[in-house]
Amino acid sequence: MKQRLLLLEDVDALGKKGEVVSAKPGYIRNFLLPKGTAVIATPNMLKKQEKLRKERAEQAVVDQKEAQELAMQVEGITLETTVKVDPEGHMYGSVSAADIAHLFQEKGFPIERKNIALSRPIKETGLHPITLKLKEGVPAKCNLQIVPEGVATTGIERVVAALPQEEKKEETPPETP
């Protein structure tokens, strides 16, 4: 049996601050109540709901602005990571959302694993587009260049290598009679 709660903070996959939601008893008992992110929705607590909604609306405006600024900074940058490969060029392991978040944090961007929309880990070298979902649903896009270990490339060589390769037609010299 699910119980009704008033959220005191945003909870991923459950709701936003000030909303009345329902959850399973184990989740309530083991996670929400001990962390102080929710309270049981009694009539007395429901009086606080409007105040919490106003606070959430004010915070949403601030979060939206911060996320848009971060999206402008991140938009179009190319992160680079070096990976080990076997002689055939196949990667050992993969690059996950946590690895990408670590690359962002090394560059000074406050992006966490949950902000990176990656359906599955990347298992190929090359240039890969990365989609980010920042606070308040603000989207951003950047690129991830995965370079095999031991391959030294300059910035221009990387860009050229990432472009689709055209098949070169061999030109035959004109025959003379």
The pLDDT, as a whole number, for residue 88 is: 85
Question: Span 71-162: which CATH code?
Answer: 3.10.430.100
**Half-sphere exposure for 128 (CA within 13 Å, toward CB):** 24
Domain residue limits, the chain: 3-47, 71-162
| CATH 1.10.287.130 is held by the domain 3-47 | no
Is the distance from CB of 1 to CB of 26 less than 8 angstroms? no
Tens digit of each residue's pLDDT, the chain (177 residues): 678 899 998 888 899 888 999 999 999 999 999 999 999 988 888 888 888 888 889 999 999 999 999 999 999 899 999 999 988 888 888 999 999 999 999 999 999 999 999 989 999 999 999 999 998 889 999 999 999 987 655 444 544 455 554 444 445 555 665
Look up tokens 């951003």; give the residue. 140
Q: Where are the beta strands (DSSP E) in the chain?
A: 3-7, 20-23, 38-40, 78-83, 116-117, 126-133, 139-148
What pTM does this model have? 0.68
Rg (CA), the chain: 25
Is the distance from CB of 71 to CB of 140 less than 8 angstroms? yes
